[in-house]
Structure 1
Amino acid sequence: MKKKGIIAAVVVLCIGVACFFAFKPKSFTKECDKIMSNLTSYTLQGEMELNKGEDIKSYLIEVNYKKAETDEYYRVSLFDKNLNQEQILLRNADGVFVITPSLNQIFKFEGEWPMNSPKPYLIQTMFEVMKSEEAVIEQNKNGAHITAPVSYPNNKNYIRQEMDFDGEAKPQAIQIFDEDNTVQLKMVFEKVEYNNDVKDDVFAAPKELDSSVASLPLAQEDLPLYPVSTYDSRLVSNNVMQVNGQTRHVLEFTGEKNFTIVETVKAASDELQTVFMPGEMIDTLDVIGFYDGASMSAYQQNVELTVFSQDLTPEEMMSVLSSMQVAVMK
């Protein structure tokens, strides 16, 4: 009888522990709800690493947010440590902008970015992940550790996210895993401030850009780039043509998914240009795509890449463009 009593006690204890980890600790979720309900601004600074197969791309990331009277402003700076280049995504009262100093250009478009899809570097997305019915929150002496399944439309291989928060519900680190339990994204935050004094001019589109870059841009000899993601289609044609004085590489793929890729080396403009873009912006954190209903364009360093297809979805087009590499298929 004594042995049965001990076993019963152990079972009850195990059930209690399981329940503790299965339900969100109220104190932490209440703190997060309180922060979100009173959030008027924030700043995040840290480092982000993206797993790109054989390579790891490293970025310095800074996010600024401010709630305005009639809108919400965002500014995201991604500084590529390997290329020594910065790209800025900006939302203000005038619209949405992609600022590309390496080309001395600003792309302006209409849209709901960044809230048109979840972004792992936004506090809003982090708290939404935490509030998921399937999220598991473990409070500890330093704060809380959160594990939850996730779905990022533009990053289909992101399926599980882990986050660490301190005692003030400020994010310390994020990891996102694929189905093989391989880390696909890692962010470590060095600075997090809530309801801080973020000035309006932080969200203003710049009047001039520093187009100087330390890394060498891609040259004609580096082209064409080839996609790793081909959806089982095969390369059947690889042509070079001159159009309006520009050299264009045209790659045609056929199979279950037919598509064509056009590649053009672009020189930085002497004067700052603002280019108005039709359609929708789709981003995969490190690649920004512009979708117009029939094609999608993106830039890799100083190369403009455009994929045309009636078979690929916008997400599949982005997958193709995100996988472009030098001489993969040669």
Structure 2
Amino acid sequence: MIKKSRLWMIFVFGIVLLLVACGEKSQEDVVKKLGENITELAGYKANVEMTMNTGQEEQVFKIDVWHKKDDFYRVALSNSEEDKGGQIILKNKDGVFVLTPELKKSFKFQSEWPDNSSQPYLYQSLVEDITNDKESKFTTDDNHFIFTTKTNYQTNSNLPYQEIYFNKADYTPALVKVLDTDGNAVVEVKFNSFELNPSFNDKDFEIEENMASATPEDVPTSGDGVTEELEVMVPIQTVGAELTEQIEVDLKDGKRIISTFTGEKNFTLVQEKRNVVETLSSPEEVNGDIVNLGFGAIGALSENSVEWDYNGSNFYLASDQLTREELLQVAQSVQGHNVK
């Protein structure tokens, strides 16, 4: 009787150990499954909230991500507080575009986006960063698989690492924390929803459809329009330079502010706001990289300049002395100053 009891206990204990062992996923198991998910993926839709803590006021904005197999992307960004305007990164069979429906403007990039840099709101980019980092660290909690990996930001060496959380239930992304050199979370990307293999309309990734559907109804497209006050923006991060001259130029349909900064490295910031929005024209060709400026605005970064649209104004920052990383730092720090 005793022997049977012992044998039964050993049998039960063995079954328990087997079940526990089967329930545990190794780093290799999870990476393999993530890779399989990406390979088999027909598409997805994600609703994302991005929070940025860059040493200034905390900024939060919304991102709606659509992806369809064969390299089609639609990434719509908007400021969740002001909810004015917004921009769309669009990739289709014709190339890579940045659309600003509020200003009826579009840029076409000669770019390898999104493959040329880490994109914390794109499923494929997160998995690629994990796969490329042979020294990545792996842990788990009750609901998530967690990876700590290196990032791939060509224009920002101050954000070298990221923590990526995947849901255990379906291996979809849940949260991303982009870390600075001290290990502090500077950027947090929260996936509020993630829909696998949704249906799309034929025109969802076309320029005309996105410009028309996202353009605010109250934006004038002809006539005199409405004259609005111009909030002049200047950078907080000036790389040691000081504002030495600010010129206001009256345009036929708006205003232009030219701010000159002088120091060890000089640069010029041009801000322009027009009261009449031009009708939609063909996309303007841009030689540069797509960069996220961190306040719901997408910029075009070249060797000597960065250009972006925000809150109804166009900005152009130029310098033959600032590095690309310094250009980006200055542009990211542009904030409200006074009203003209």
TM-score, structure 1 as length reference: 0.80
Give 1:257's aligned residue.
Answer: 265
Matches of residues 152-171 of structure 1 in structure 2 within 5 Å?
A: 152-167=153-168, 168-171=170-173
Contact preservation (8 Å) 1:24, 1:136? no
Off by >6 Å, runs of 4+ in structure 1: none
TM-aligned CA distance change 1:198 to 1:148, over 3 Å: same
Task: Rate the CA distance shift 1:240–1:321 in 2: closer, same or farther, 3 A.
Answer: same
What SS does the corresponding residue of 1:206 show, helix, strand or coil? Answer: helix
State the match for 2:317 in structure 1: 307
What's 1:277 paired with? 285
Paired residues for 1:115-126 under 5 Å = 115-126=115-126
Which residue is equivalent to 2:129? Answer: 129
| Residues 260-300 of structure 1 deviation map (CA, whole Å, 9 limit, x = unaligned) | 11111133526334441331242125332224554321122
8 Å CA contact 1:102–1:213 kept in 2: the answer is: no
Say if 1:103 and 1:211, in contact at 8 Å, map to a contact too. Answer: no
Cα RMSD of the aligned pairs, angstroms, is 2.8
| Counterpart Cα distance in 1 of 2:155 and 2:46 | 22
For residues 204-238 of structure 1, the C-alpha deviation after alignment (integer angstroms, 9 at most, x for no partner) is 22342422579xx9955522x11112111222222
SS where residue 58 of structure 2 aligns? Answer: strand
Cα distance change, pair 154–264 in 1 and its aligned pair in 2 (3 A): same
In structure 2, distance between residues paired with 1:31 and 1:110: 33
Give the deviation of 1:52 after TM superposition.
4.2
Contact 2:91 2:97 in 1 (8 A): yes
Q: Does 1:239 align with 2:238?
A: no
- Classify the secondary structure of the residue corresponding to 2:53: strand
Query: Counterpart amino acid of 1:28?
Result: V
Q: 1:170: Cα distance to partner? A: 0.8
Q: Deviations over 1:73-126 (max 9, x none)?
A: 111011211121332110111222222222233333432222232211111221
Asked if the contact 2:98–2:108 (Cα under 8 Å) also holds between the matched residues in 1, the reply is yes
Which sections of structure 1, spanning at least 5 residues, go unmatched? 1-22
Residues 107, 286 of structure 2: 8 Å contact kept: no
- Match of residue 231 from structure 2: 222
* Structure whose alpha-carbon radius of gyration is higher: 2
**Secondary structure class of the residue paired with 1:84:** coil
Residue in 1 that maps onto 2:331 = 321
Q: Which letter maps to 2:243?
A: L
2:226 aligned with 1:211:
no
TM-score (norm 2): 0.78
What aligned pairs does 1:77-96 form with structure 2 within 5 A after superposition?
A: 77-85=76-84, 86-96=86-96
CA 1:324 to 1:212, structure 2 compared with 1: closer, same or farther past 3 Å? farther
Q: Distance in 1 between matches of 2:75 and 2:240?
A: 35
In the alignment, which residue of structure 2 is the partner of 1:73? 72
- 1:53-68 matches, within 5 Å, as 53-68=55-70
Worse-superposed segment, 107-116 or 170-179 = 107-116
SS of the residue 1:96 aligns to: strand
Maintained 8 Å contact 2:261/2:268:
yes
Give the whole-Å Cα distance in 2 for the aligned partners of 1:252 and 1:196.
49
Residues 245, 301 of structure 1: alpha-carbon distance in 2 compared, 3 angstrom cutoff: closer
| Partner AA of 2:83 in structure 1 | N
The AA in structure 2 aligned to 1:100 is T
Secondary structure in structure 2 of the residue aligned to 1:315: helix
Structure 2 portions without partners, runs of 5+:
1-24, 220-225
Taking the aligned partners of 1:296 and 1:47, their CA distance within structure 2 comes to 25
Instruction: For 2:120 and 2:78, locate their aligned partners in 1 and report how far apart those are by CA, in whole Å.
Output: 17
* Distance 1:320-1:212 versus aligned 2 partners, 3 A rule: farther
Instruction: Measure, in 1, the Cα distance between the counterparts of 2:114 and 2:83.
Output: 24
1:288 pairs with one of 298, 311, 315: 298
Structure 1 residue matching 2:113: 3-state secondary structure = coil
Q: In the TM superposition, what is the alpha-carbon distance from 1:137 to its structure 2 partner?
A: 0.9
